[in-house]
């Protein structure tokens, strides 16, 4: 039984939510997002809250129940506040800069890496060693941050590379004589 799915999702102030069959649409100050629930899930708008319930008690329906509620909650948070992911760059000569909308990374390669963000994603570089990825779609923000980190992930000996701001790197001890 899903404990997350039982709780209805309150529609925050300043956001208009509509439910059309399996499609939940949210409009807010940051933009508009929608989520289409699986056919095994019923979605209703009651008392300024979205109620999610499984249609049958099969294992598949119950496993999609909590996920559907979380996705609806994420679109509400996204159109109201948005999401952001911070990345840090460690290493001598490693830095980031913006060229228009594109992110230019110097990561110790013989060439600079240029990353073009998808539509709906904004990249900011407050310091040459800090990158902030923002947007309204949580999945897209996380995917862009993961793609940037993938160019040169943190290595375990010196910690050089691109890492998430909250990430802790487990360091290894070097060779001994």
- Specify the CATH number for the domain of residue 19: 3.90.930.12
From 28, 53, 80, give the residue that closes a domain.
80
Residue 38 lies in a domain: yes
Residues 151, 89 within the same domain: yes
Of 51, 80, 109, the position where a domain reaches its end is 80
Question: Which of 50, 80, 110 corresponds to the end of one domain?
Answer: 80
Could you tell me if residue 26 is inside a domain? yes
Q: Are strands 23-28 and 31-36 parallel, antiparallel or unpaired?
A: antiparallel
Q: What does the CA dihedral 53, 58, 59, 64 come to, rounded to 10 degrees?
A: -30
Same domain, 89 and 34: no
User: Is residue 170 a part of any domain in this protein?
Assistant: no
Same domain, 17 and 45: yes
**Number of folded domains that form the chain:** 2
pLDDT at 5: 83
174 inside domain: no
On whether both 122 and 63 belong to a single domain, the answer is no
Residue 10 lies in domain: 3-80
Angle at 118 between CA 142 and CA 120, to 5 degrees: 80
Considering the domain boundaries, does residue 177 fall inside one?
A: no
Please tell me whether the overall predicted TM-score, pTM, comes out greater than 0.85 for this model: yes
Q: Is residue 52 part of a domain?
A: yes
Reading the chain (177 residues) residue by residue, the pLDDT tens digits are 568 888 899 998 889 999 998 899 999 999 999 999 999 999 999 889 999 999 988 888 888 998 999 999 999 999 999 999 999 999 999 999 999 999 999 999 999 999 999 999 999 999 999 999 999 999 999 999 999 999 999 999 998 999 999 999 999 998 888
Radius of gyration of the chain (CA): 21
The whole-number pLDDT of residue 1 equals 58
State the DSSP string of 68-90.
Answer: HHHHHHHHHHHHHT-EEEEEEEE
């Amino acid at each position: 039984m899903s404990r997350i799915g039982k709780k209805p999702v309150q529609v925050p102030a300043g956001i208009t939510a509509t439910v059309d069959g399996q499609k939940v649409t949210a409009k807010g100050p940051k933009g508009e997002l929608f989520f289409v629930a699986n056919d095994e899930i019923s979605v209703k708008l009651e008392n300024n809250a979205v109620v999610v319930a499984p249609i049958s008690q099969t294992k598949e329906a119950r496993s999609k129940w909590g996920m559907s509620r979380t996705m609806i909650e994420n679109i509400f948070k996204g159109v109201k506040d948005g999401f952001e992911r911070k990345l840090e760059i460690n290493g001598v000569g490693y830095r980031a800069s913006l060229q228009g909308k594109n992110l230019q990374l110097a990561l110790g390669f013989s060439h600079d890496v240029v990353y073009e963000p998808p539509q709906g994603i904004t990249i900011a570089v407050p310091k040459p060693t800090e990158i902030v990825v923002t947007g309204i779609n949580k999945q897209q923000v996380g995917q862009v941050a993961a793609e940037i980190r993938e160019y040169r992930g943190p290595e375990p000996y010196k910690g050089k590379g691109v890492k998430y701001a909250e990430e802790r790197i487990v360091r290894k001890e070097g060779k001994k004589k």
